[in-house]
Chains A and B, each alone.
Chain A
């Protein structure tokens, strides 16, 4: 099964995406088309995985997403599959990707043409994220910075809160519940769970940093408070 998905991914990454870049010379259109292809593949992946009863998936609150607006989409990260589900839901969102992806032979070309943000340079990541939001794009972030530890309380890194404050962004919280754990940080990829994992993806109403913290200045204090209040928001939604 994984092999089939892997081959399909490689085929798209090595054949379809380069064809797009040949046909389309204009950067923003090339980026748009590439993201459409990636999202279509991920929708197909989710549909097939659900159809074959490998996982089940329930999405609610998609009406809170506004494709025409700039929203900072924040999600918790229980499983490797999360990003696949999220990109299938938010096809044109900017994403921050691991530097390793930009070096991976199968993924680097798609990632580059899709114009995703590499996490290589911390100062640059922050600035790029804020710029993309200000220019009207939506940005997808996992504030944990990595997959969740199933045994520990949710711990957000301060980057997402900082970006929200600097860009004065509208935050779209996406709460992902996966039961039992599947492809989490602890589970090896080949481990088959005892029963079918169910993904409950809840998109909550959008909010502004000012809705969660009283003063958005000074920023350092505001960041600590906003981060803590985002953690609480997700913790209580997951409880």
Chain B
């Protein structure tokens, strides 16, 4: 999955499952403060992303991730 497709998937999840308003979603919006998802949503999102990409995000990286860009970096890092 390329970056663009991954971003689109994440964006769709945020809008459809976590009731985030499409207009405020951006690569650098803070997931918790600006997009107002909670830590359980974040865990759900991470599990979905792991399933889609077949990659594993380590708990340390996950806890430090604050934006969609952080999450995507964690998934694309070798």
**CB within 8 Å of B: which residues of A?**
120-123, 126, 157-159, 162, 220, 223-224
A123, B41: Cβ atoms closer than 8 Å: no
Residue B78 CB within 8 A of the other chain: no
Prevailing SS type, chain A contact patch = helix
Q: List the B residue with the shortest CB-CB distance to A124.
A: B59
B62, A158: Cβ atoms closer than 8 Å: no
Q: How far is the CA of A40 from the CA of B70 in the complex (A)?
A: 46
Q: How far is the CA of A120 from the CA of B59 in the complex (A)?
A: 7
Additional A-B contacts beyond A122-B42, A158-B40 (18; CB < 8 A) = A120-B59, A122-B43, A122-B46, A123-B43, A123-B46, A123-B47, A126-B40, A157-B38, A157-B39, A158-B38, A158-B39, A159-B39, A162-B40, A220-B17, A220-B18, A220-B19, A223-B38, A223-B40
Give chain A residues whose Cβ lies under 8 Å from the Cβ of B38.
Answer: 157-158, 223-224
A121, B59: Cβ atoms closer than 8 Å: yes
Give chain B residues whose Cβ lies under 8 Å from the Cβ of A224.
Answer: 38
Q: How far is the CA of A157 from the CA of B39 in the complex (A)?
A: 8
B41, A220: Cβ atoms closer than 8 Å: yes
Q: List the B residue with the shortest CB-CB distance to A163.
A: B40
Q: How far is the CA of A223 from the CA of B41 in the complex (A)?
A: 11
Residue B55 CB within 8 A of the other chain: no
Q: How far is the CA of A162 from the CA of B42 in the complex (A)?
A: 13
Q: List the B residue with the shortest CB-CB distance to A224.
A: B38
Q: Evaluate whether A126 and B41 lie within 8 angstroms (CB atoms) in the complex, with A120-B59, A121-B59, A220-B18 already known.
A: no
Residue B9 CB within 8 A of the other chain: no
**Which chain B residues in 30-63 approach chain A with CB under 8 Å?**
38-43, 46-47, 59, 62-63
